[in-house]
């Protein structure tokens, strides 16, 4: 089981003409099962509690809202001896919230829904059986639906990729802690921890 906090920011484009900057904060709880030593299945659910969308001179408050995801990983290389570990992953997620225009004037709340499918790979090396620095690359796609100024808009992320660096610490009593930063593509910062039993 795990608990994660994440902050991300990116750029969206709606109807091929409306550019929107977005940032969002959220927490997610996860339950992970390991049907085989190399494969994991993960179910996550959580809350969006803060964020903004900025476009054409207006600012819109994002949240509170919900998020949910289903993911799997497969260990292609186990990292034993001098080899690195290599994990392949895939996920499907969705997030919904209400947005409310704050500037230049306050307006009624509108709906916001994002759907996301992504695939990725993480490569790293475990040092002293405790610290595992890693690098990750992910690609993703999916629609974003937003009701903006009384009209239904359909958009997507402008980048469709994410490059990340992270560090995982494996502590006694089956406790793991991690921190990750993604400075390119969809930008993000995430921290979290988990407990295995």
pLDDT average, residue stretch 164-178? 94
pLDDT digits (tens, 9 = 90+) for 75-126: 999 888 888 999 999 999 999 999 998 877 777 788 999 999 999 999 999 9
Q: E strand or H helix at 10, and its extent?
A: strand 2-14
pLDDT average, residue stretch 118-147? 95
pLDDT digits (tens, 9 = 90+) for 12-23: 999 988 999 999
Structurally, how many domains does the chain consist of? 1
pLDDT attached to residue 63: 84
Model confidence at 149, in pLDDT bands (50, 70, 90)? confident
pLDDT average, residue stretch 65-78? 95
pLDDT average, residue stretch 12-41? 94
pLDDT attached to residue 56: 86
pLDDT attached to residue 66: 97
Q: Is the pLDDT of residue 74 over 80?
A: yes
pTM over 0.75: yes
Count Cβ atoms below 10 Å from residue 60 Cβ, excluding itself: 23
Task: Give the percent of the chain with pLDDT over 90.
Answer: 81
Who's near 119: CB < 8 A, 6+ residues apart?
A: 88, 89, 90, 138, 139, 140
What whole-number distance in Å separates Cα of residue 80 and Cα of residue 175?
21
Average pLDDT, whole number, for the chain? 94
pLDDT attached to residue 36: 93
Task: Please tell me which residue, 169 or 197, carries the higher pLDDT value.
Answer: 169
The helices-and-strands tally (H runs, E runs) of the chain is 0, 12
Q: Is the pLDDT of residue 44 over 90?
A: yes
pLDDT average, residue stretch 155-170? 96
Who's near 44: CB < 8 A, 6+ residues apart?
A: 4, 28, 29, 30, 31, 67, 68, 69, 70, 71, 93
Domain residue limits at 94: 2-195
Who's near 128: CB < 8 A, 6+ residues apart?
A: none
CATH code, domain with 119: 2.40.128.90
């Amino acid at each position: 089981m795990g608990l994660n906090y994440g902050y991300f920011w990116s750029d969206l484009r709606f109807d091929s003409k409306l550019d929107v900057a977005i940032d969002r904060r959220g927490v997610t709880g996860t339950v992970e099962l390991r049907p085989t030593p190399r494969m994991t299945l993960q179910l996550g659910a959580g809350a969006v509690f803060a964020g903004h969308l900025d476009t054409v001179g207006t600012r819109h408050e994002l949240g509170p809202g919900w998020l949910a995801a289903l993911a799997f990983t497969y260990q292609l290389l186990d990292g034993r001896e001098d080899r690195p570990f290599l994990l392949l992953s895939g996920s499907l997620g969705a997030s919904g919230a209400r947005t409310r225009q704050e500037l230049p004037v306050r307006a009624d709340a509108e709906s916001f829904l994002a759907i996301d499918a992504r695939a990725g790979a993480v490569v790293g090396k475990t040092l002293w059986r405790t610290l595992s620095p890693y690098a990750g690359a992910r690609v993703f796609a999916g629609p974003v639906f937003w009701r903006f100024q009384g009209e239904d808009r359909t958009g997507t992320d402008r980048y469709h990729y994410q490059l990340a660096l992270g560090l995982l610490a494996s502590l006694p009593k089956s406790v793991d802690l991690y921190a990750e930063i993604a400075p390119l593509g969809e930008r993000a910062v995430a921290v979290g921890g988990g407990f295995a039993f």
